[in-house]
Structure 1
């Protein structure tokens, strides 16, 4: 089993376990710390979507920091089992775990979120398809956290608000440009 530590909020220093899987790369502590400095340490009242939940590091970090609701979407059965165990261990009642393919979730869900965490398996090349419809799920003033192994070219509808790099991890917060 692999381990990841929550770095802030109510569950600070709690260690979570997750299975080995080629597509699971928990966001490094240093990157999570930077991102939550950008977002603000207190996410009270925010609704968050962790679209490719994996280890759960980003969604659980948001819940630990007071997010009102966190939806975590994951399709792998063995990863879901670990996420369920971690949610139970933390007593994370504000987290909804959805066992579904991320693209199908976006097609079927009509909720809007203040923060969307987007860290799909790099090998699938899903970012262009995801970014073309993700704005439909963003609340007004919402942001998308995007993580990739390369610097990502964005279409004209998105603007990079903040960005950074740690080793091979390129990460940024995006805002959707409003029409007009």
Structure 2
């Protein structure tokens, strides 16, 4: 039986005080980092909201979205990642960066408990899964978002996005050949 080989890759932070910092990552079948171009677009969308925000990255993967958020002025970031090998790289990449932490945990297990609302939440789960819909439901059900919270979603075009809460307003979206990207804001009451 042939052993799986993983390609070592580096991702560069593209803005803020950590600009040009190289992140070490292991590229696996379930870990496809958000490209520099899409991260640049996302953080342009978040430009007026990122400063002093508290962010949750539910399926952290490389950790690039959360580290980019801290670099651009977020107050605090929590990264959730279930894969033991991937989380070890996240720990190395966030070492000595203030106000960012990571937990090795299944994001859905974390979201099942009652939460304290975050300002910005990143949802970019493995595409070949039903994690996205479950996470959206748990965010609403268990108090992880509040009026004016922002939710970023990245998904494959192959899968439909259904059951978006009526209180979420689509503010921005874009797509490329294979993927779609959405920015929602929860309506103020």
Structure 2-normalised TM-score?
0.87
1:152 is aligned to 161
Flag the 1:66–1:153 CA change in 2: closer, same or farther, 3 A: same
- Superposed CA RMSD in Å reads 1.7
Flag the 1:167–1:4 CA change in 2: closer, same or farther, 3 A: farther
Runs of 5+ consecutive residues of structure 2 not aligned to the other structure: 1-7
Looking at structure 2, the residues matched to 94 and 118 of structure 1 have their Cα atoms a distance apart, in angstroms, of 20
1:167 is aligned to 177
Deviation larger for 25-34 or 37-46: 37-46
Report whether the alignment pairs 1:44 with 2:51: yes
CA offset digits 1:116-175 (Å, max 9, x no partner): 000001111222222122132113311100000116244352331110013312101012
1:75 is aligned to 82
Runs of 5+ consecutive residues of structure 1 not aligned to the other structure: none
State how many pairs are aligned. Answer: 177
Looking at structure 2, the residues matched to 60 and 68 of structure 1 have their Cα atoms a distance apart, in angstroms, of 11
Report whether the alignment pairs 1:4 with 2:14: no
1:95 is aligned to 100
Give the structure with higher Rg (CA): 2
Structure 1-normalised TM-score?
0.91
Looking at structure 2, the residues matched to 72 and 156 of structure 1 have their Cα atoms a distance apart, in angstroms, of 24
Higher normalized helix content (fraction of residues): 1
Deviation larger for 37-46 or 140-149: 37-46
